[in-house]
Amino acid sequence: MAAMTPTAPETGTRVDHRPAAPVRSPRRRPRVWRGLVLGLGGAYFLVPLIASFVFTVHTPGQGVSFAAYTELLGAEGFLSSLTLSLGLAAATIALSLLLAVPALVAVRLGAPGCAR
């Protein structure tokens, strides 16, 4: 009980009776930088895509034409190249999963504290 009872100040010591300063919450930074970085990153990826699309469909003196895309589908070797690309993409995904899933299971079962 004595530990819970406040003690009186010793005689001869000064007691400060000023109110405590208000506690300020940390200042929030504006989200302008986040939007600026997102906008610049988006422009970095979208501008070349749009430029290459415009370059392929715009024919000087004739206007817009999708002939390049229609010729591409009928080009010799296109179907075999597309099949090879899709097969390599599927093999890459399968190999990644084949390596990652056992490693993740081993970490989860063998050392549960390391999983987080």
- Report pLDDT digits (tens) over 36-88: 999 999 999 999 999 999 998 988 888 888 888 888 888 999 999 999 999 99
Rounded to whole angstroms, the Cα distance separating 48 from 41 reads 12
Rounded to whole angstroms, the Cα distance separating 15 from 63 reads 86
Token pair of 106 as six digits: 């081993």
Band of residue 107 on the pLDDT scale cut at 50, 70, 90: confident
Cα dist. 63→25, 52, 54 in Å? Answer: 59, 16, 11
Band of residue 102 on the pLDDT scale cut at 50, 70, 90: very high
| pTM of the entire predicted model | 0.48
| Residues in CB range of 84: below 8 A, 6 or more apart | none
